[in-house]
A and B are shown apart, each in its own frame.
Chain A
Amino acid sequence: MSETLPVAAFWILALASLGGAVAMMATRNVVHAAFWLLEVMLATAGIYLLLSAEFLALVQVLVYAGAVAVLTLFTVMLTLRRREDAVREFPVAWGSMAIASLFTGGILLVLARFRPALAQVPETIPGVEAFGEQMFTTWALPFELASIVLLAALVGAVWWTGGEDL
Chain B
Amino acid sequence: MSPTLAVIVRLVAVLGLMLTNGVVMIYLLRKVLGHLHIRLGPMHVGWHGLLQTVNDVLKLLTKEDLTPRAVDKVLFFLAPVVVFVPSLMAYLALPFSEALRATRLETGMLFTFAVLAIVPIGILMAGWASANKWSLLGGMRAAAMQIAYEVPLLLSVLPIVMIAGTMELGAVVDAQAGTWFGLVPRWFITDPLLWPTFLIFLISSLIEVNQTPFDMSEGESEIVAGFASEYSAMKFALMFLSEFSNTFVVSAMGVTLFFGGWLLPWAPDSWYEAVPALAPIVFLTKAYVGVVLLWWIRGTFPRVRIDQMMSLGWKRLIPAALAMILITGVVQKLLAPVLYRAVG
B145 CB to closest chain A CB, in angstroms? Answer: 10
Can you list, as one digit per residue, whether each of A122-149 has a CB less than 8 Å from chain B (1) or not (0)?
A: 0000011100000000000000000000
A69 engages B110 (CB within 8 Å): no
Partner of A77, one of B72, B111, B128, B154: B128
A-B pair count, CB < 8 Å, reads: 71
B107 engages A58 (CB within 8 Å): yes
Inter-chain CA distance A70–B141, complex, in Å, is 12
The residue of chain B having its C-beta at the shortest distance from the C-beta of A5 within the complex is B4
Which residues from B are CB-within-8-Å of A127?
A: 106
Contact count band on A: 20 to 34
B229 CB to closest chain A CB, in angstroms? Answer: 16
B188 CB to closest chain A CB, in angstroms? Answer: 20
Knowing A31-B128, A58-B111, A77-B140 are in contact, say whether A70-B120 is a contact too (CB < 8 A): yes
The residue of chain A having its C-beta at the shortest distance from the C-beta of B127 within the complex is A77
The residue of chain B having its C-beta at the shortest distance from the C-beta of A65 within the complex is B118
Inter-chain CA distance A31–B120, complex, in Å, is 16
Which residues from B are CB-within-8-Å of A71?
A: 147
Residues of B within 8 A of A (CB): 3-4, 72, 75, 105-107, 110-111, 113-115, 117-118, 120-121, 124-125, 128, 131, 136, 139-140, 143-144, 146-147, 150, 154, 166-167
Q: A66-B117, A70-B124 are in contact. List 11 more A-B contacts (CB 8 A).
A: A32-B75, A35-B75, A54-B107, A62-B110, A66-B146, A66-B150, A67-B150, A69-B121, A73-B121, A77-B124, A77-B140
A-B contact pairs, 5 of them (CB 8 A): A54-B105, A58-B111, A61-B118, A67-B147, A78-B140
The 4 closest A-B pairs by CB, nearest first: A66-B117, A62-B114, A61-B114, A58-B114
